[in-house]
């Protein structure tokens, strides 16, 4: 029945209140075009209120959705998924669980039974990368890989045949993403490339990383060469990326970051740490240059390679755009539609 094409999505919907726009928001925004009625939870900022709102929505609107999707993160947020799964099971609602975050394999290794109990109660488990699917498979068996959706057509591609020393960094200011390293990379390059600039965009997560990054820039005497753009509206991301030629990803932990895929879609030359799922997303020397985490010197050397005359820059730019097309939303949303259709069919089948 048409009314049964309804799905409840449980995750962090915080972009309207200054948080990062999560993959669950992208999914919720695109499903109506495929004929799905979407309910969401939660957009509450305080963590306990967010958890309470998730459970309240699951129970109160149980007659308004047929299937559900629950985001799974490591750390304290893992409890939210456990609570949501408990409520959905009690209501006999079929649901899919989607794995997120580069720390999840380490969390599962530390809490194997807890992870196994949670994932085994889902009808389907999905992950946006082979990295997470492989790392969590011992806990629940086969995991379906569905990439994070990106509207590739919204990202104009400019092939970087000869890169200029115009760098960009686009993540949240948090220790996990090591923004100070980006400032150190720029500072070590500016003497050789006086025209160098670095744009850093992203929200301040409040752990002091933003202040430490500014202090590192001031200590290096960058004199305004590093521009802090703050949180950038999603619609402005293509413009911010297009203004640069080289994208820095300095993170300590990662899975399949949308920001890197966006940079690839724009044809930027990506230099990234080789952590988590990054080596599954790009191949060193083909779609990006990869360096060890925390090594600002190695990252600066990689940038120097891109600024030298030769074919490397152009080939990375072209290959990156081709690889990014695999994440196009039209392909990804077709996979989600098929998944929810199968879940809906199972929920409509008569019980023995």
- My answer on whether 206 and 317 are in the same domain is yes
List pLDDT tens digits, range 214-266: 999 999 999 789 999 999 998 999 999 999 999 999 999 999 999 999 999 99
Q: What secondary structure does DSSP assign to 40-66, as a single string?
A: EE---SSHHHHHHHHHHHHHHTTTS-S
How far apart (Å, rounded) are the C-alpha atoms in residues 27 and 119? Answer: 21
Q: Which CATH number belongs to the domain containing residue 109 in this structure?
A: 3.40.50.2000
Whether the Cβ atoms of residue 129 and residue 255 lie closer than 8 Å to each other: yes
- My answer on whether 159 and 197 are in the same domain is yes
Residue 17 has pLDDT above 90, yes or no: no
Q: End-to-end CA distance of the chain, in Å?
A: 21
Q: What's the whole-model pTM score?
A: 0.86
Instruction: Count Cβ atoms within 10 A of the Cβ of residue 117 and give its class: 0-12 exposed, 13-18 middle, 19 or more buried.
Output: middle
- My answer on whether 159 and 245 are in the same domain is yes
Question: Tokens 């089948």 appear where?
Answer: 349
Q: What is the per-residue pLDDT for 351?
A: 45
- My answer on whether 339 and 304 are in the same domain is no
Which pLDDT band holds residue 349 (cuts at 50, 70, 90)?
low
- My answer on whether 104 and 78 are in the same domain is yes
User: Which residue from 322, 324, 327, 246 is spatially nearest to 291, judged by alpha carbons?
Assistant: 246
User: Which residue from 14, 113, 6 is spatially nearest to 69, judged by alpha carbons?
Assistant: 6
- My answer on whether 303 and 162 are in the same domain is yes
List pLDDT tens digits, range 282-307: 999 999 999 999 999 999 999 999 99
- My answer on whether 182 and 263 are in the same domain is yes
What's the domain range around 68? 2-149+328-348
- My answer on whether 142 and 176 are in the same domain is no
- My answer on whether 297 and 275 are in the same domain is yes
| Nearest-10 crossing angle of helices 258-265, 312-324 | 120
How far apart (Å, rounded) are the C-alpha atoms in residues 68 and 58? Answer: 9
- My answer on whether 128 and 191 are in the same domain is no
Give the pLDDT mean for 75-93. Answer: 96
- My answer on whether 337 and 270 are in the same domain is no
- My answer on whether 234 and 139 are in the same domain is no
Number of domains in the chain: 2
For residue 287, the tally of other CB atoms under 10 A from its CB is 24
């Amino acid at each position: 029945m048409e009314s049964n094409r309804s799905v409840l999505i449980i995750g962090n919907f915080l972009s309207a209140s200054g948080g990062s726009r999560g993959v669950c928001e992208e999914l919720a925004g695109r499903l109506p075009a495929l004929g799905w009625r979407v309910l969401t939870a939660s957009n509450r900022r305080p963590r306990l209120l967010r958890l309470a709102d998730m459970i309240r929505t699951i129970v109160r609107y149980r007659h308004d959705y047929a299937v559900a999707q629950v985001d799974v993160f490591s750390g304290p947020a893992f409890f939210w998924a456990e609570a949501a799964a408990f409520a959905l099971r009690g209501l006999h609602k079929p649901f899919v669980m989607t794995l997120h975050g580069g720390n999840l394999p380490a969390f599962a290794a530390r809490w194997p039974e807890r992870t196994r109990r949670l994932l085994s109660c889902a009808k389907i488990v999905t992950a946006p990368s082979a990295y997470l699917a492989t790392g969590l498979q011992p806990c629940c068996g086969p995991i379906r890989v569905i990439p994070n959706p990106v509207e590739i057509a919204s990202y104009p591609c400019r092939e970087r045949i000869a890169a200029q020393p115009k760098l960009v960094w686009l993540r949240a200011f948090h220790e996990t993403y090591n923004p100070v390293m980006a400032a150190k990379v720029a500072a070590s390059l500016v003497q050789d490339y006086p025209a160098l600039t670095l744009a850093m965009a992203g929200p301040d997560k409040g752990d002091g990383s933003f202040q430490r990054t500014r202090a590192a820039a001031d200590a290096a005497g960058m004199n305004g060469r590093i521009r802090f753009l703050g949180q950038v509206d999603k619609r402005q991301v293509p413009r911010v990326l297009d203004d640069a030629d080289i994208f820095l990803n300095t993170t300590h932990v990662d899975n399949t970051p949308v920001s890197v895929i966006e940079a690839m879609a724009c044809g930027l030359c990506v230099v990234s740490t080789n952590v988590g799922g990054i080596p599954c997303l790009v191949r060193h020397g083909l779609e990006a240059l990869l360096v060890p985490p925390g090594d600002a010197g190695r990252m600066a050397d990689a940038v120097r390679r891109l600024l030298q005359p030769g074919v490397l820059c152009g080939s990375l730019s072209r290959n990156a755009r081709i690889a990014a097309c695999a994440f196009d939303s039209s392909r990804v949303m077709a996979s989600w539609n098929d998944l929810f259709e199968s879940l809906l069919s199972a929920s409509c089948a008569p019980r023995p």
